[in-house]
Structures are given as structure tokens and as C-alpha cells.
A = this chain, B = another copy of it.
Amino acid sequence: MTHHLPLGPGREFDRIRAIAAALGPAASSLGGDCALIPDVDGFLAVSTDVSVEGVHFRRPWLSSEEIGWRATASALSDLAATAATPVGVLTAVTIPADGSDDDLVAVMRGVGDAATAAGGTVLGGDLSRGAAWCIAVTVLGRAARPLTRAGAVPGDRVWVTGSLGAARTALVHWQRGEPPPADARQAFARPEPRIAVGAKLAALGAHAMLDLSDGVAGDAPHLAAASGVALSIEVDRLPVAPVALAEAQRTGVDTARFAAEAGEDYELLVALPPLFAERDAVELTHACGVPLTLIGDVRAGAGVTFLLHGCEVALSGFDHFRA
């Protein structure tokens, strides 16, 4: 544990750095996707994620089941990034005065669906009254050979799974008071943690990985900082979800920038050695049904350079404290 946690910039990460400084040796592995506890067959991977009404979602946007699914899927995404196999989840749920027992059961049904879809179970939890719905999900998994954000080396290439921007498209529709297109809504309400792809990428020799809860712009700097390398990312190469393409064009925003600054996608950003070729990516896509797109490379140095139409640009990460 160091006071200089290898995290990228941002106020949320300044808070985590301040906590790590105060905790000193009482903290052991803050700042990564999962904590890794040595086990006989490898590691136990654990992570906690909290979803709060009014911050991460608003009640009218989602059904109770979707609130539970989304909270759980976003936590499971940290296991995916660690190449861990889910064992189970624990949930601490606070229920506002206007929340019924039926709502609670439906939220927990969503939690259970997301856990079983990923191969795990609901191991336990706690309930309390509260001012708003708040679902804290702890995930446990096992990883024989876990991946972390550290491990990328100069010469590696940077890839991203799936497509980006659909969840943000739903968010901007809701914020404008419009119903989002079905694809966008689905991406936000029922994200699919990339468990199988994460495990496959680890088996194929990936060096470092993280999940994109705060977008490529927000999260790529963490991978660079943890690995002690520089990343160069060609933003034009980002795989943009069709529904996000339509949204960016309609509102006159640069498509690539829209996708790079979009949070909540829960896709994986991964550094693979140069031997991993486009052909391997096509095979992986066939095996897992998830596209893998080359978006940049790893160099000696520090920080992330984002190139848009050949020019360096400054991008903003997605910040839940600000949202």
C-alpha cells in the first residue's frame, strides 16, 4: 500500500488516495478492480460496488428487477476484468419509505438473475430502511491466474470488447425527458458482464485488463498508471454502438468523443502482446459472440494520449460524483 496509488486523475480518485494515506498499512489493495486473496488454487477475487437511486439511476427509468440486475452486473464486471469465475454475491439493500416489500423482492430477483447468469448464487445480505434505494453488491470469484490493471508493457496493443456509448445514449434521453431507444435502454438496464470474454482474454495471454465503468477516457489512465506505461489511443477506432452513432449525429457531437466519454458500458479494456493479431480477435468474437477492436498501443512513459482525427485531444471521464 502506498500513498501514491497508481490511479489516474479525478476527484473520486483523489478521495481514494486520501483514504489510502489515512489507512496506511490497514489497507491492502485499494484502487484495483478486485482485491486478490491468495488461495491454494490461485486467488479469491472480491470487489464491492454500490448503486444509489438519484446518483446511478432514477426510479422511473428502471423496473425493480433491472435495478437489482444492473447493480449486480456492474459489480460482476470487476470479476470479469480480473478473469475470475464468479462464486456468488452479497447485497446490502436500503429501502426508502415508498419502497414496498414487493419492490424489494423484485430487486433481489434481479440480483439473483444476474448472479445465476454469471454462474454464481446469492450468498447473503442485509436489509435496512434508508432515504433512497441503495444496493451495495459484493462479488466473490476465483481466479487461477488473475489479471490486474498492472502488467501492460511497451509494445503491447490495446483492445476493447463490445461497443461503446449505448448506455450513455439512454442516460441522455432520460435526462432530456425522452424515452430512450430500446437498444440504449437495454444496454443501461441490463448490462452483460464480460465474464467469459475476460477469462478467454486471460487464457490468450492478456497482460492487463480493466472494465470501463467510467468510459475509455476515464479508465484508460488507470491502466496506464497501474502498469507504469503510456497508452496511445486512437479515439476514431472506438467501436461505437449504432444507437450511440445515431444519437451523436442527431445532436452534432463528435461520434468518437461521445463513445470515449461514455460511462456505464462495462466493456473490457485489455492490453495484449503484439503476437495477438486481428485474426485472433475474429476467432475470439466467434467463440464468445463479443467483438474485440484494436484501439491503440502501449509505450514507455506515463499517461494516455487520445488521438482524434490525428490530433491529440483532452477527454473527460464519466464521474458519478458529478453526474
Contacts and interface: CB of A to CB of B under 8 A. Distances in A.
Interface in A1-60: 12, 14-16, 18-19, 22-30, 32, 34-35, 37, 39-41, 44, 46-52, 54-56
Contacts of A15: 101, 104-105, 127
B30 A122 contact: yes
A169 interface: no
Interface string A219-240: 0000000000000000000000
B131 A54 contact: yes
A127 B16 contact: yes
A113 to B, nearest CB: 7
Contact of A50 (B12, B35, B136): B136
Q: Which of A26, A32, A49, A90 has the most chain B CB atoms inside 10 A of its CB?
A: A26
Given A128-B55, A128-B56, A121 B50 contact: no
A18 to B, nearest CB: 5
Nearest to A39: B39
A49 to B, nearest CB: 5
Given A123-B29, A126-B49, A128-B55, A23 B134 contact: no
Interface residues of A, number: 68
A219 to B, nearest CB: 15
A94 B47 contact: no
A34 B124 contact: yes
A123 B88 contact: no
Given A88-B37, A92-B92, A321 B123 contact: no
A134 B130 contact: yes
A145 interface: no
12 contacts: A23-B122, A28-B88, A28-B121, A37-B123, A49-B92, A49-B126, A52-B94, A52-B130, A90-B138, A92-B136, A131-B131, A136-B136
